[in-house]
Structure 1
Amino acid sequence: MDRLKRPFYLVFGLILCGIGVLGAFLPLLPSTIFFIMAVYFFSKSSPRLEAWVLDHPLFGPSVVAWNEHKAIPRKAKWLAFAGMALGFVMFVLFSRPGVWLLLGVAIFFIASALYVGTRPDGPAKDN
C-alpha cells in the first residue's frame, strides 16, 4: 500500500514546496508552513528532497526549528504579526464586511497571533 501512496506523497510535497518558493517572493503568502508540510510528505516519499529542504540555507533552519522544538524564530513571529495585521486591514478595506463576518475574521486573526506568539523562539540555551 505504501508503494501506491509514495507517488502521491511526492507530488503533494513538490506542490507544497513550489508554493513555499512562491511565498518567499510574495509578501502576503507565507513560505515556512508550506516547507514544513512538504518535509512531512517528502519524509514518506523522497529522503533526498526531505534532506534538501532541511539543509537549505534559507528555508531549512525554520523548518528544523519547528520539527525539533515546535519553535518559531522571533523575527518570523514579527513578520507573521505584520502580515496578519496587513491582511486584516486589507480585508476590512476591500470587502467592507458585516459585523458578524468582521468579528469572525478578527477572532481568527487574534487566535492565530496568540498561537504564533506563544510558541518558543528556539531551543533552550544552556547557561
Structure 2
Amino acid sequence: MRKIIKFLYIIIGFISLGLGVLGLILPVLPTTPLLLLASYCFVKGSEKFERWFKGTKLYKRHLETFVKERAMTLKQKLSILIFADVMIAIPFFILDSVLVRAMLALIVVYKYYYFIYKIKTVKY
C-alpha cells in the first residue's frame, strides 16, 4: 500500500510539473503553485526524483528563492493571485448560497493578506 501511495505522489508530481511547464507558455496556468505541488509530491514520493527536480534549472529559477527566503517576484504573486481569483469567481457567481459566497470572499481577503504581508516581494 505504501508503494502505491508513493507511486501516486510521483505521478501527481509529474502531472504538476508538466502543467507548470505549460504555465510558462500559457499565461492562464500559474507556474509557481504547480511547481510547488510537483516539489511536494516528489518529496513525498521519491528521494531520487526530489534530488533530480531540485537540481533542474526550472526549480532554481522559479522555486528556490521562495523555498529558501519565502519570497516571490511581483509577477509570480500576481499570476497566482489572478488565477486563484478567477477560479474562486466561478463558484462565487454560479452558486446562490450566501454562506458559500461569504466563505469564498473571506478566502480571497485572507489570500491577499497572506501574499502581501507574509511573502516578501523580491525584484529578480
Same fold (TM over 0.5): yes
RMSD after superposition: 2.9
Q: How many residues align?
A: 115
Matching residue of 1:49: 53
Partners of 1:61 and 1:50 in 2: CA distance:
10
> What's 2:112 paired with?
113
User: What is the rounded CA distance, in whole Å, between the counterparts of 2:21 and 2:37 in structure 1?
Assistant: 13
Q: 1:73 to 1:91 in 2, by over 3 A?
A: same
| Displacement after TM superposition at 1:84 (Å) | 4.0
Runs of at least 5 residues in structure 2 that lack an aligned partner in the other structure: none
**Do the aligned partners of 1:20 and 1:35 also contact (CA within 8 Å) in 2?**
yes
Structure 1 residue ranges without an equivalent (≥5): none
Q: TM-score, normalised by structure 2?
A: 0.69
User: Normalising by structure 1, what TM-score?
Assistant: 0.68
Cα pair 1:36 1:63 within 8 Å, conserved: yes
SS at match of 2:17: helix
Counting helix residues as a fraction of each chain, which structure ranks higher?
A: 2
1:89 is displaced (CA, Å) by 4.5
Distance in 2 (alpha carbons) for counterparts of 1:87 and 1:39? 22
1:19 match? 19
- Residue type at the aligned position of 2:30: P
Larger-gyration structure (1/2): 1
Q: State the identity %.
A: 17
Higher-strand-fraction structure? 2
What amino acid does structure 1 have at the position aligned with 2:83?
G
1:70 aligns to what?
A: 70
- 1:66-98 Cα shifts (integer Å, max 9, x gaps): 1111112112223333334444544444x0533
Relative to structure 1, is the Cα distance of residues 92 and 22 closer, same or farther in structure 2, using a 3 angstrom cutoff? same
